[in-house]
């Protein structure tokens, strides 16, 4: 199976425009870090930073096999776990989520036996040393085709979605004790083909669906962790966009996301970058492909540590191989880099390391051949720290990722010093939220550096 967001984006990408790309004053360096071969598979899933400072990702199957792998900043790569079977062909491995227990959680869209039968998706976890556990096999009644990894909420449980390829989807819950349950099943009106779930600062779940709603243009569903729908937004299509693929909450409290279609009226549109307010209003920030020769069909979006949005377009740019772009939260858009065959094409999957560098993946090397790989982008952004948890409370332990933690002298929560913290390694420490702490940044200090978290930690 081909990742659905990629398939939709490629289906609607029919027109190649010419002209100049808007220039960027920002100095950046984009480099190929790990080129892949046919033996590796394709690595278009988003990477995630681990406790040990390495980065973890998956390659998707070639001839029925795929891998979980890790890599370091110098490009050294090692296989953590191989999905290899003489009986099954694995299809559609999702990105990974780092849990507060140190495991990585992911999903498999489905498996097929040699004789043609198979299951409807699997949910698993794997340790950084490659210890694999199958946690749940989807049967149909509880959903079909989980295409995205679950997220961990502040209650310690995991929440995820099944896509069901355009039909009714499910939102599921997996507890620490191993209990699986469906907390919500969508309708044609609330959304079809759920993509991703994210945890808001308010403790609620937000789910994007690429179908359903008004003329099946897609929806955003807001629901509690018990499955109660609080509100949902139906995309009108047209210039506002349709087929929302992802959502993230910015440091300003608003949500930001991408649609895969709509916007510029060319061949169904190339999609939009939008803002979704906590009050449930959608504002279109930018219609992708508006500038002649710019990127088209965005496939990734993150918030950088500078508060700007950064993303990837699958095609377009000077070489029509995709672009890396920046968009401010007020809608000012710039293509920062046009991909070249030496780095790869069809880029998707993007994250920012606590070193400040961006890491991403390309699906191909060149436009129509090769297996892509991992690239880095240096935008001149400085180092920071990141909390594994988005929210916590007084007396709870918070996990912090970063670098150069050896010799740490203090950890503060919005200015209040933690009375207890433990440096486990140069890239990982834990701290207990102190009495008097309020929502705000986490700051880690040592004799040689002071690093601030890239987002506020919500204290409840």
User: What's residue 366's pLDDT?
Assistant: 58
User: What's residue 27's pLDDT?
Assistant: 76
CA distances from 56 to 49, 72, 93, 106, 269 (A): 6, 9, 13, 11, 34
Distance (Å, whole) CA 403 – CA 162? 36
User: What's residue 93's pLDDT?
Assistant: 83
The backbone torsions φ and ψ at residue 248, rounded to the nearest 5 degrees and listed phi first, read -140, 155
User: What's residue 432's pLDDT?
Assistant: 98
CB 257 within 8 A of CB 249: no
Distance (Å, whole) CA 410 – CA 450? 9
- 166 CB-contact burial (10 Å; exposed 0-12 / middle 13-18 / buried 19+): middle
Distance (Å, whole) CA 100 – CA 97? 10
**Closest CA relative to residue 451, chosen from 375, 404, 385, 401:** 385
SS (H, E, C) 93-115: ECCCEECCCCCEEEEEEEEEECC
CB 392 within 8 A of CB 386: no
In sequence order, which residues have a C-beta less than 8 Å from that of residue 376 and are 6 or more positions away?
Answer: 30, 31, 33, 357, 358, 359
In sequence order, which residues have a C-beta less than 8 Å from that of residue 190 and are 6 or more positions away?
Answer: 209, 212, 213, 219, 221, 229, 232
CA distances from 154 to 7, 162, 188, 199 (A): 33, 21, 30, 9
User: What's residue 290's pLDDT?
Assistant: 87
pLDDT tens, the chain, 460 aa long? 344 444 344 333 322 222 223 334 457 899 999 988 777 777 778 999 999 999 999 887 665 567 888 899 999 989 898 887 656 666 778 899 999 999 999 998 877 665 555 678 899 999 999 999 999 999 888 999 999 999 999 999 999 999 986 678 999 999 999 999 999 999 999 999 998 899 999 999 999 999 999 999 999 999 999 999 999 999 999 888 999 998 999 999 999 999 999 987 655 689 999 999 999 999 999 999 988 889 999 989 999 999 999 999 999 999 999 999 999 999 999 999 999 988 999 998 999 999 999 999 998 875 555 778 899 999 999 999 999 999 999 999 999 999 999 999 999 999 999 999 999 999 999 999 999 999 999 999 999 999 999 999 999 9
Domains of the chain in start order, with CATH, are 4-378 (2.130.10.10), 386-459 (2.60.40.10)
Distance (Å, whole) CA 143 – CA 137? 10
What is the pTM for the complete model shown? 0.91
């Amino acid at each position: 199976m081909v990742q659905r967001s990629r398939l939709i984006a490629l289906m609607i990408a029919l027109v190649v425009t010419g002209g100049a790309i808007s220039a960027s004053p920002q100095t950046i360096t984009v480099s190929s870090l790990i080129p892949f071969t046919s033996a590796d598979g394709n690595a278009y899933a988003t990477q995630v930073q681990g406790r040990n400072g390495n980065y973890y990702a998956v390659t998707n199957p070639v001839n029925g096999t795929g891998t979980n792998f890790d890599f370091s900043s110098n490009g050294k790569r090692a296989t953590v776990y191989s999905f290899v079977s003489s009986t099954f062909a694995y299809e559609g491995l999702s990105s990974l989520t780092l849990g507060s227990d140190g495991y990585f959680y992911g999903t498999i869209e489905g498996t097929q036996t040699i004789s043609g039968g198979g299951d409807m998706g699997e949910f698993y976890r794997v340790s950084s040393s490659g210890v694999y556990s199958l946690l749940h096999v989807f049967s149909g009644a509880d959903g079909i085709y989980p295409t995205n990894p679950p997220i961990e909420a502040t209650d310690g449980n995991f929440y995820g979605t099944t896509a069901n390829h355009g039909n009714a989807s499910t939102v599921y819950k997996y507890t620490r004790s191993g209990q699986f349950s469906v907390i919500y099943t969508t309708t044609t009106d609330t959304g079809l083909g759920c993509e991703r779930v994210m945890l808001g600062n308010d403790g609620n779940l937000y789910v994007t669906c690429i179908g359903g709603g008004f003329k099946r243009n897609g929806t955003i569903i807001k629901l509690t962790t018990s499955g109660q729908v609080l509100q949902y937004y139906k995309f009108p299509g047209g210039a506002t966009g349709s087929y929302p693929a992802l959502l993230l909450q910015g440091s300003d409290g608003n949500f930001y996301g991408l649609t895969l279609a709509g916007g510029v009226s060319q061949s169904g549109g190339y999609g939009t970058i939008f803002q979704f307010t906590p009050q449930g209003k959608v504002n279109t920030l930018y219609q992708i492909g508006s500038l002649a020769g710019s990127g088209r069909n965005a496939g990734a979006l993150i918030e950088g540590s500078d508060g700007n949005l950064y993303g990837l377009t699958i095609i377009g740019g000077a070489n029509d191989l995709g672009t890396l772009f920046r968009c401010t939260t007020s809608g000012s858009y710039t293509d920062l880099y046009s991909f070249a065959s030496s780095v790869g094409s069809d880029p998707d999957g993007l994250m920012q390391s606590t070193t400040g560098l961006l890491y991403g993946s390309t699906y191909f090397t060149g436009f129509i051949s090769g297996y892509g790989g991992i690239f880095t982008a240096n935008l001149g952004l400085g180092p920071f720290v990141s909390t594994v948890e988005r929210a916590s409370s007084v007396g709870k332990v918070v996990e912090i990722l970063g670098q150069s933690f050896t010799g740490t002298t203090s950890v503060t929560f919005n200015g209040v010093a933690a009375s207890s913290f433990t440096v486990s390694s140069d890239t990982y420490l834990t701290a207990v939220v102190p009495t008097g702490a309020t929502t705000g940044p986490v700051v880690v200090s040592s004799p040689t550096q002071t690093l601030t978290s890239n987002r506020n930690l919500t204290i409840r």
